[in-house]
Chain A
């Protein structure tokens, strides 16, 4: 089958703004979109830039817009699209384009870093493992599926309107540590995100959950943080 790919192009060395370039390719229903991009690069245009690595949805490199929706290029196959012979491929929204489909992810990782994404514990370390209830581990387990692909944050309308909003991905990391029974910094973690740039920035619009390529119920996890902040406020007043 012949498929047409209309791909966003921008080369900072020569372009003042982006434009679209059309490629056509023989495809089969089981080709990944990433396979198609690779073949365009190998066979037609070696200047096409995009990120990729594992090619099976675990490294988080290749989130991009495919036909107007945020997807991982390696996790979508030609057969997954009704319009199987026409594709529009664009970079993730929200971030600045470095070249073609490559965006500057630094602001995303700065926010990630801001939530102190590591275990903080003031307990003495036992000789063996700390005990943890299996139910506790499975409660925050959905957040462990996160591959930091930035799909959720790029999709979030609040992130687009408020550049200071931490965004769903960073808050999801916060959720992972807040609800981990081994972490003892819950109070200061909650205080840190108890603001409109933090968890209250989330207006429960579900776009993050809708686009997450790992099926993480992001909005619900953020809801759990909100619930805990409210409980804490109640118990303090």
Chain B
């Protein structure tokens, strides 16, 4: 089936929806999503969205900018961080005007709370900067934006899996997608495509991410010639529920929650004397694992306690309701009486498809772009998060840069007509790819390959990394990719064939895992979330640069390039909290 639109947006999370709204009612826009729009993983964001509104105490966007740059371990592009933090207050007011039901102060203003790494006056003390709606902030923003799109009459294609980008003469002019319910292929012919497909947290065994977070958009863009940037920087959130990885928001510590080891000690005081439990996530995750290595895990096991028993029922029920439900349901813990057992969980990709500040997708380090192709949100790397993202900055990123991508696409589509497609069927390549998979007599199963990849990546490419191990991981991933080519699909049906999607997803994840591992191996320093035990220091002389990865074919490792970091206001300094 063929469709014609001005713009196709892939992904119905916040970045995609914000862009759709920006494109306006006079733009024919289709949003395609592998899950129903409101099931998008943006809805799982809990704690808040950062903006220097100053509703609770004095604040300035420049302080927010400094915190973001310092939090990034100086790898973020400072021009992009300036845009992000300067535009933050406007973004919050805009959300409020659309109807987002933020918690309020006694004066009726938007309430704000403390969050990791956010400080006043360039690092002096923790500051209340996170705007929130209890601990379901992502959920209510997602609902509001989706409902705004319904009001606008934007066309949604739910449960459509993106398969390939249509690129002709260096111009992106559409996508091929697979409809889950019918097993049919659809081609969406358009002037521009925005990828807003989210993260890839399912590459790791312990993850806060949804099953849908398999990095499809990143891998498809990568294979089509886009550069990936800073893939080795993967955020492990310090407080996932023990064994399950389910996120317990940083808002818990923002509201006064405390991490404790087996001696009941508030160990973060030793590591970050100024802001303690509100140190950035990369540091807190490492500190937790160090405590565990020193034998200070609870009962000798690999977790510590997150204690909120002193916060009182009122704070918990009005501001931390969801997470207390998660603790009760999954850990059997009443948070008003007992601490929650927690350990780091894979949470967020700082890296992604290399873009400029208008969402244009880059192919190399020479500012070369693919015309008509854009990316925004977690699947993109602008880069505003550098080597470590601060809490509350991802909701901000998706909204600020989703809007900017929408705006720049709007300008672009007015300059061109619908690019012509030659006579051949644009879905033919995808149809052949699916037929080959469906007809394969291979004996490999995607589930087994995925489990092995998740274990290898968790054991070697998570919070602590070592050069020797990374060399072996490259080898193992190569073998898994070979096995991936031998996958046989057992479900031969056309309706909701998850077996087929699982096989595609594991292929995407392996491509991304390989780029992550290659980046981690090449970058022989430690910066932000990337910590090499064999090179524990930051090396600004050699590595104050972004990593770039270019696709080199199904059987070769990606090509590795670097690109300078844009530094405008804040020179790199030692990072202490």
Contacts and interface: CB of A to CB of B under 8 A. Distances in A.
Contacts of A102: 496
A57 interface: yes
B2 interface: no
B495 to A, nearest CB: 5
A46 interface: yes
Given A61-B36, A129-B92, A113 B150 contact: yes
A61 B39 contact: yes
A218 to B, nearest CB: 16
B491 interface: yes
A95 interface: no
B210 A129 contact: no
Which of B136, B181, B498 is most buried by chain A, counting CB atoms within 10 A of its CB? B498
B490 A134 contact: no
A53 B38 CA distance: 11
- How many chain A residues sit at the interface, stated as a range, is 35 or more
Nearest to A140: B101
B44 interface: yes
A118 interface: yes
B210 A54 contact: yes
Interface string B22-43: 0000000000000110111101
B330 A77 contact: yes
Contacts of B184: none
A42 B448 CA distance: 9
Contacts of A55: 210-211
Interface string A31-52: 0100000000111001101011
Interface string A97-139: 0111010010000000100111100000101111111100110
Interface stretch (B103-111, B278-286, B566-574): B103-111
Nearest to B209: A54
Contact of B105 (A46, A113, A134): A134
- How many chain B residues sit at the interface, stated as a range, is 35 or more
Contact of A53 (B104, B210, B496): B210
A120 B490 CA distance: 50
Interface in A158-191: 176-177, 180, 182-183
B108 A144 contact: no
Contact of A11 (B104, B147, B329, B493): B493
A58 interface: yes
B140 interface: yes
B452 interface: no
Contacts of B326: 56-57
Nearest to A49: B496
Contact of A118 (B43, B92, B106, B147): B147
A119 B330 contact: no
A176 B139 CA distance: 14
B561 to A, nearest CB: 35
B131 to A, nearest CB: 9
Contacts of B489: 46
A184 to B, nearest CB: 12
B104 A59 contact: no
A53 B211 contact: yes
B43 A54 contact: yes
Nearest to A181: B108
A12 interface: yes
A11 B181 CA distance: 11
A177 B144 CA distance: 11
A134 B108 contact: yes
A176 to B, nearest CB: 8
A119 B329 contact: no
The 8 closest A-B pairs by CB, nearest first: A119-B99, A131-B108, A42-B447, A49-B496, A46-B499, A134-B104, A59-B39, A129-B96
